[in-house]
Amino acid sequence: MSKSRKKFIALVEKAIADGAQMAPEELMFSYKGILYPATVCSPAVFKALESFEARRDDVILAGYPKSGTNWVGQILTDLVLSSAKYSEDSDRLDDEEQEEFPYLEVGDAEKYQRMANLPSRRVMLTHLLPHNLPESVFKNKAKILLLVRNPKDVATSFYHFTNRLAPLPSYETWDGFFDAFMNGEMPWGSYFDYVFEWNKHIDDINVMAITYEELKKNRALGVKQISEFFEVHLSEEEIQGVVDRSSFQAMKENSEKTHGTFGDILFRKGAVSDWKNIFNEEQNQKMDMTFEERLGGTKLGRKLKYEVYCKD
């Protein structure tokens, strides 16, 4: 196991242990009107993040929680490391590429000074709204892969996730969670705000949007498109290797090595349309109405194919 994975696992397991000792009201804090988990984020981190200097060749993945960011993040890391393995820095990249916890907003306030010393290409994940990212990300035109997933499956996955993870608030009932989700009272804020705000960047030359559903449907095509967007030059055989290693089953089986005990929580089902097992008709109608009001006329809204994935 690379030391980056050990560091990842250590941070997550500390957050789980800390969360188990905290009162429910201590688990979250609000920063600029958005809730974040206190065990892994802090106001000091967000303040320090403002001065982070992004590079043009950074590989950034943006996605709302439970949209598949850990899955696609591993695909991106695999692509970058595969392309670097014959270079002079291959050993260095393998050891240091994810020396820091991959989520940009998670860690300590000194993290960004250390990241300045990491070699290119740095792979970074984030759940942040675009206007809460460092200005340098857009100024330097770092490439961003925007991952979106249909809201009903996001809500379903988030419900199971938050109830199994001590650092996040738990809910006695699905109905209680659903109300909180629809009101935007979630870690990292409202799903609908997230997609609406990122839709403003959908035509940016440095942004590529992909849906969880299309990647599940044709992983080989999706991986190829992602590699082309980030200008990662690999042979067909190398691309296929990334595709094979990124199946949900392969990642779930390897999750203890990559994510420790957190892996079992993280890689639960990876299914499309799991929402049908938990939504009632009233909730379906409320979600349908909200989606149409907030996202129905947007490019990202259309890309999500709501009629296909969120209607019986």
Q: What's 173's DSSP letter? A: -
Spatial distance between the Cα atoms of 10 and 6, rounded to a whole number of angstroms: 6
Omega of the bond prior to 121 within 30 degrees of 0, cis?
Answer: yes
Task: Find residue 125's DSSP bridge partners.
Answer: 61, 103
Beta strand 34-37 with 28-31 is antiparallel
Is 259 annotated in the active site?
no
| Given 127, 131, 160, 201, the catalytic residue | 127
Distance, in Å, from the CA atom of 149 to the CA atom of 226, rounded to the nearest integer, reads 17
Q: How far is residue 49 CA from its own chain's centroid?
A: 18
* Angle at CA of residue 130, ends 128 and 132, nearest 5°: 60
**Residue 104 in tokens:** 């940009």
How many angstroms separate the CA atoms of 117 and 128, rounded?
23
What residues does 62 pair with on adjacent strands? Answer: 126, 146
| Alpha carbon distance 289, 295 (integer Å) | 10
Beta-ladder partners of 34: 31
Q: Alpha helices of 132-218 — where are they, by DSSP H?
A: 135-139, 151-164, 174-182, 191-199, 212-217
> Cβ neighbours of residue 195 under 8 Å, at least 6 residues apart?
64, 148, 294, 295, 298, 300, 301, 304
Where in the sequence numbering do the catalytic residues fall? 127
